[in-house]
């Protein structure tokens, strides 16, 4: 009986520091975390302030070509805002490059044909699909030239 009481007390005590860390504010981190490295680390991971880091990978491309073979878009390099995108359809059926965001872009490319259009200017990932074959999916990764 005495042993069980002790373990119950431990369960009640152990989580307390974690609860404190979870509600600690940025101001609290600055005051209390300076002396204790471990505490700073804990605060950094619990405050979800996004840090604007450039995405990894090669430099963005101002002009790219997407090929479509066997109902599949080729891999896409990272592109600059407004990059010139050429779409080459090697299949014997019509495809499209249609933005998941309605109205952003919706380009049709007939069997065996090539089209060119300008990518969006908004930085970020722009998923698209083929409206004739909904399982066909791709995306533009758009970022500024560094
Ligand atoms: Cu298609």
77 Cα: distance to centroid of ligand 1 (angstroms): 20
CA of 38 to the centre of ligand 1 (A): 53
Domain check: are 94 and 135 in the same one? yes
Q: Which residues of the chain have pLDDT under 50?
A: 1-45
Q: CATH code at 100?
A: 2.60.40.420
Q: Report how many domains make up the chain.
A: 2
Give the model confidence (pLDDT) of 6-27 as tens digits. Answer: 444 444 443 434 444 434 444 4
**pTM: predicted TM-score of the whole model, two decimal places:** 0.60
Domain containing residue 18: 7-46
The answer to the question of residue 52 being in a domain is no
- Calculate how far, in angstroms, residue 64's C-alpha sits from the geometric centre of ligand 1: 19
Residue 118: CA atoms inside 13 Å, Cβ hemisphere, count?
Answer: 5
Task: Tell me how far CA of residue 98 lies from CA of 8, 24, 62, 126, 141, in angstroms.
Answer: 59, 45, 20, 10, 15
Which residues sit opposite 140 in a β-bridge? 126
Q: Judge whether 118 lies within some domain.
A: yes
Ligand 1 centroid to residue 55 C-alpha, Å: 29
Residue 82 lies in a domain: yes
The total of other beta-carbon atoms located within 10 Å of residue 69's CB is: 11
Q: Are residues 68 and 126 in the same domain?
A: yes
């Amino acid at each position: 009986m005495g042993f069980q009481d002790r373990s119950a007390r431990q369960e009640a005590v152990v989580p307390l520091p974690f609860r404190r860390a979870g509600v600690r504010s940025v101001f609290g981190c600055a005051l209390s975390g300076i002396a204790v490295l471990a505490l700073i680390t804990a605060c950094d991971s619990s405050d979800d302030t996004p840090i604007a880091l450039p995405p990894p990978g090669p430099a963005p491309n101002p002009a790219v070509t997407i090929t479509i073979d066997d109902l599949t878009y080729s891999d896409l390099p990272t592109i600059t805002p407004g990059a010139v995108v050429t779409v080459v359809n090697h299949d014997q059926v019509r495809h499209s490059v249609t933005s998941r965001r309605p109205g952003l872009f919706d380009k049709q490319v007939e069997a065996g044909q090539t089209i060119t259009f300008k990518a969006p200017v908004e930085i970020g990932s722009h998923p698209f699909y083929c409206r004739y074959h909904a399982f066909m999916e791709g995306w533009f990764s758009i970022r500024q030239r560094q």
